[in-house]
Amino acid sequence: MKTIGQAVDELLTRRARERDAIQKRIARDGGTRRFVEKRLPRLSDVIAPDVTEEQLAAHSRWELREASQRMRDCAHCPSSGGACDGASGYFAEGTFPVWTDEHVLGRADCPKWAAYAERRRLKRAGVPEGFMEATFESYVARSDVEAEAKELCRQYASGFETSDPGTLMITGPTGLGKTHLAVATARECRTPRLMFAYLPALVDMLREYTDEAFLRATTCDLLVLDDLGAERESAFGQEKLEHLVNVRWSERRPMIITKNRSLNAMTKTLGEPLIRRLVSATRIAVELDGDYHERAAGV
């Protein structure tokens, strides 16, 4: 078994050999600039034109190769970002090589990455493609009621870090932006473990994949239930929904719920115990009212 000293000696010896190899290649290629253009073409716009042999040789072949591979990824990155998704190492996802003031290869944050990572988070959570761009900024309030609803949702998001943010309940007719406000609020809550579920689809999912789906729905940091009351009336659906709400309520896990009707109007289909639990869990209730108006995606 090697001692720490032996391991360090081997590392230093290997680095010395790599440095010598790079210096020999630089000499054969006719200088550092020619070496970069010939052997590291993807880094020719990154490494300073006046780089010295010593500065270049201070990098290992692995470091130069990793930087070159990242520049290849960047060159093929779509406008929406994400070419380096899942990358690890020094140039982890969302970073790219730069030449620093210390005359070494460093890394900088990619300007595309934050928007891409947010879209990835929402997609993994189950947010529909049509609501990927739903934000408070893109929600156009067409009445005082909608403006007040938007502000209440902002208040919920700003207080989400409290120990018990409770449930945000958004009620209103179709076409007034309930789902938009729910996604915009969830986006601002910045929780890593988010789950969005159209309630009828969730009930079907619980029927087919009971354990897995139920565990995810009860343990995620924030659960968005879209269109409460739209699910088909069934003893199974009512039982599962009541169980889900009870578990999240008892463990103080927040929810955002959208619905078309008041809770009292759904007593017959949901049952009084579930209605009472939802009422007690609600911290902020948002009421939208008005005539239907078609909203473009993200508006």
Output the pLDDT for position 290: 64
Element (H, E) at 198: strand 194-198
- Regions in the chain scoring below 50 on pLDDT: 294-299
Length of the chain: 299
pLDDT in tens, 93-129: 999 999 999 999 999 999 999 999 999 999 999 999 9
Helix (H) / strand (E) element for 274: namely helix 272-281
* pLDDT one-digit tens code per residue, 197-235: 998 888 888 877 667 888 999 999 999 999 998 766 667
Structure tokens at 118: 């947010």
Strands 105-109 and 95-99: antiparallel
| Count of C-beta atoms within a 10 Å radius of residue 130 | 14
List 147's β-bridge partners, or say none: none
Domains, the chain, in order of start with CATH, read: 4-111 (no CATH), 118-287 (3.40.50.300)
Return the SS3 of 87. Answer: coil
Q: Convert 261-276 to b/e letters by CB count within 10 Å (16 or more is b).
A: eebeebeebbbeebbe
Cα separation, 277 vs 236, in Å, equals 18
Structure tokens, 185: 């609020």
pLDDT at residue number 296: 46
Cβ pair 256, 222 in contact under 8 A? yes
The predicted pLDDT at position 299 comes to 47
State the pTM of this model: 0.78
Which residue do the tokens 């997609």 mark? 123
Q: Which of 298, 264, 268, 297 is nearest to 278 (CA)?
A: 264
CB of 58 within 8 A of CB of 31?
no
Whole-number pLDDT of residue 291: 57
- Measured CA angle at 199 (ends 196, 205), to 5 deg: 85
Contact 266, 150 (CB under 8 A): no
